[in-house]
Chains A and B, each alone.
Chain A
Amino acid sequence: MTDVAEMVGADVRRPEDMTVLVVDDEPDVAFYLGSVLEDAGLNVVFAHDGDQALDAIRRQQPDLISLDLVMPRKSGIRVLAELRRNPKWARIPVVIVTAHARDPEVRREVGEHADVLSGSVITGPSMYLEKPVTPQKYLRGICDILGIEVEVDQSGLSIDSHAELRDEAKNLLDGVDAATLEDVLGRLRQ
């Protein structure tokens, strides 16, 4: 890769040349994701629903879109569908960041738009991240797609040391069953 990059020469991409559109209806999440990217030197534009996202893309075409799926006004799935219909936007890489991956409703919708997702998630230059997402994983994923290298500031990302614990919690949540939940609810009641 290095050899190829040297051969291309001036084409090496720098973070400050890149603009990422962060779309999330939760201001805290948008702020968090945006902060991670800004701290790494990237330019960030925000949108809080599907309509705002499309407006932002029309104003200035971003190099990458970080997209939540369930939002008011226009869901992420529909934003994605509109992107794929427009030849100018079809090749913009998209990173989907969602907590609703296992929600039956979202699954159904994803099923209906399978063609949209198959173009972006599986074969396209995009990826699919499930919340909660760590700063490292998020930054690494986006930089890989954009083909840029950034210094990962270890001190700013110190909480990464809890990654294993967090992954364990996430796996537990994914595997929770009705009996366990009832047990937990019972304890909460007491």
Chain B
Amino acid sequence: MNAPTWREGLRAQLIDEIPSGVMVIDSSLNVVDHNHAIDCCFGEARGRKCYSLTKGRDEPCDDCHALGVFRDGKQRTVEQKGIDVLGRKVHYLVSLTPIPTGADEPEFVAAITTDLTAAKQLQGEYQTLFEKVPCFVALINRDHRVVKGNELFRTTFGEPMGEECYRLFKHRREPCPDCPADRTFDDGESHMSQHIGVNREGKPVPYLVFTTPISRGDEKVSHVMEMALDMTELRDLEERLSQANVLRHALVENSLDAIVVFDDRQRIQLVNRAAEKLLGRSRDQMIGRRIPRRVAPKELDGVLSGKKERVVLHETFVTGEAGDRIPVRLAGFVLKPGGRFAGSALITQDLREIKQLEHEKLEAERLAAVGQTVAGLAHGIKNILTGLEGGMYVTSSGLKKGDQGRVRQGWEMLERNMGRISDLTRSLLAFSRGEAIECQEIRPSEIAREVAELFRDSAAQYGIDVVAEVDEVEPAWMDPEALHSCLANLISNAIDACQISDEPDLKVRVRLREEGSDLLFEVIDTGCGMDYEIKQKVFTSFFTTKGRGGTGLGLLLTRKIAQQHGGTVNLSSEPGRGTTFELRFPRHRLPKPNAN
């Protein structure tokens, strides 16, 4: 020990300040010296036993390594777990070295500790990551043997007991020709490829694999890490998406309605076959452009620009390529995936064929009506003929007997039946009047009140009260004269029904209101009502229960006028309780000012 004193000082300082713990233990395991790092980790060390200091024990450890060094004098390094000054677990590497003192057997052992806690924790985290990551991870050596596999790998492909990767992944007996690990072994680069493996149950597992070279210091790649993503669910989703797409495309493409889809700048994105036909242009000519004004009425502008949610035009016209007017039904609506305006769609139904069918149906109905009229007219005339026959008989028998009263009676019968011929002729003329109705903007409320007023006085003579319960409704495009005669007809029927009723409180109510988008007239009486048989027949031509008073054409005429306005006539009635006739005009079916 003839070294200069500064050297001693330096050594003492070095020992005190290196980040490792250094302590000196005697053969009784007393800590006889230690550096600052020991204090920091385990607390005040002087005079304590090493097992008490580092592990909080009351007696030496069963496998005490220090005692081993005292026995054989050989240096050793071991991993230990202890408890620090704050009571936390510490993981450390300890190197035990005999201190040479010249004696035969070591008197002191130096213990140099390195804290491994952080490293161990990191290792544990990596291990957890390796095990729990939601993809297959396998470590493969140059012999294609799987050295290690993570949890998902093991549960999917089985426990790797040193088998070859091709056996585990694909149940093959030899390496795959497109082995991704081989490429990485060859060029030391990462690669990605898709494969279909076979799981433990023998089911195919599509996966996407990434390879990573692993080398330990030396240049040659010793292992390859394969990380594979299970694509089963993704594949399923892709397949379902593609099926949904095919279905959507087929539905849109084959729809009989023309479908056009726009983006948020009103440019055409999609056109189906029916739209090509309706617009008279191919989709190539339209995609990316704006829709021509002639097929997109102004009412749709709000939807196209995203300012309106939805527009439905039940009956309107667009102009064809050749300038022809095409009757259509239109629905436009905005597309808002996730609440953001992304564009709009337009569905157009070509009504030409329907209109044609409607026309043919009307024509057929008209022919049927003519057929009924033929039968009815013959019978109507027969009734009048019977009346005339009777008049002539009564007159001539009165003349023969010189009975003036009888002659007068006979003559009156003749007059009445002549009158019926005029009535019949007039009704026939009205009924067979040309198809056209002459529409203008009218105030339905005014007409309803006017007609009710017309009957009020004459009905009052028979003790029948005619009441108008008329709401103020919006004007409508209708034939005022035709509407007038419809209502007059129903009211006159109602008054007749009251006249043959035995009820004391006789009333005819004329009502008008809007119901939804329908214009609804009702004529309600407290008259005799109708039984089932009469209800069945009221719309039959020349059917009448009024004896000489009716021609049997009134309701038929009323129905015809209603139909011409796109409306319907319905009745509900019970014998003894009265009858309600309803004239219903859906506003969207009323004649259009610009049509015809």
Given known contacts A104-B375, A105-B540, A105-B543, A156 and B548 CB-to-CB distance under 8 angstroms? no
Whether A31 lies near B394 (C-beta < 8 A) is: yes
Whether B429 lies near A181 (C-beta < 8 A) is: no
**Chain B CB within 8 A of A155 CB:** yes
Stretch in contact with the other chain, from A3-11, A12-20, A59-67, A170-178:
A170-178
Given known contacts A35-B397, A178-B371, A105 and B390 CB-to-CB distance under 8 angstroms? no
Which residues on the A side are within 8 Å of B432 (C-beta)?
Answer: 185, 189
Given known contacts A28-B390, A156-B400, A131 and B383 CB-to-CB distance under 8 angstroms? yes
> Which residue on B lies nearest to A131, using beta carbons?
B386
Residues of B379-416 whose CB lies within 8 A of A: 379, 381-383, 385-394, 396-397, 400, 406, 409, 413, 416
Whether A36 lies near B393 (C-beta < 8 A) is: yes
Q: How large is the interface on A (under 10, 10 to 19, 20 to 34, 35 or more residues)?
A: 35 or more
Which residues on the B side are within 8 Å of A72 (C-beta)?
Answer: 500, 528, 534, 545
Whether B397 lies near A28 (C-beta < 8 A) is: no
> Which residue on B lies nearest to A27, using beta carbons?
B547
Per-position 1/0 for A130-147, Cβ under 8 A of B: 111111000000000000
Which residues on the A side are within 8 Å of B537 (C-beta)?
Answer: 105
Which residues on the A side are within 8 Å of B533 (C-beta)?
Answer: 75, 78, 109
Whether A32 lies near B394 (C-beta < 8 A) is: yes
- B392, B397, B409, B536: residue with the most chain A Cβ atoms closer than 10 Å: B397
Given known contacts A133-B389, A181-B373, A188-B429, A102 and B379 CB-to-CB distance under 8 angstroms? yes
Which residues on the A side are within 8 Å of B548 (C-beta)?
Answer: 26-28
Residues of B67-86 whose CB lies within 8 A of A: none
Whether A26 lies near B391 (C-beta < 8 A) is: no
**CB of A151, distance to nearest CB on chain B (Å):** 14
Question: Secondary structure of the B side of the interface?
Answer: helix
Given known contacts A100-B379, A102-B379, A109-B533, A32 and B374 CB-to-CB distance under 8 angstroms? no
Which residues on the B side are within 8 Å of A32 (C-beta)?
Answer: 386-387, 389-391, 393-394, 413
Which residues on the B side are within 8 Å of A148 (C-beta)?
Answer: none
Q: How large is the interface on B (under 10, 10 to 19, 20 to 34, 35 or more residues)?
A: 35 or more
What is B's interface to A at a CB cutoff of 8 Å? 367, 370-379, 381-383, 385-394, 396-397, 400, 406, 409, 413, 416-417, 425, 428-429, 432, 500, 528, 531, 533-534, 536-537, 540, 542-543, 545, 547-548
Please give 19 more A-B residue pairs, beta carbons under 8 A apart, in addition to A26-B383, A71-B545.
A27-B548, A29-B383, A32-B389, A35-B393, A35-B397, A35-B406, A36-B393, A70-B545, A72-B528, A72-B545, A73-B528, A73-B531, A102-B375, A104-B540, A105-B543, A131-B382, A166-B385, A176-B374, A178-B371
Pairs across A and B, CB under 8 Å, 26 listed: A25-B547, A26-B387, A26-B548, A28-B416, A29-B386, A29-B387, A29-B390, A33-B390, A35-B397, A36-B393, A72-B528, A73-B531, A100-B379, A102-B379, A104-B375, A104-B540, A105-B543, A131-B382, A132-B386, A134-B389, A156-B397, A157-B393, A176-B378, A178-B374, A188-B425, A188-B428
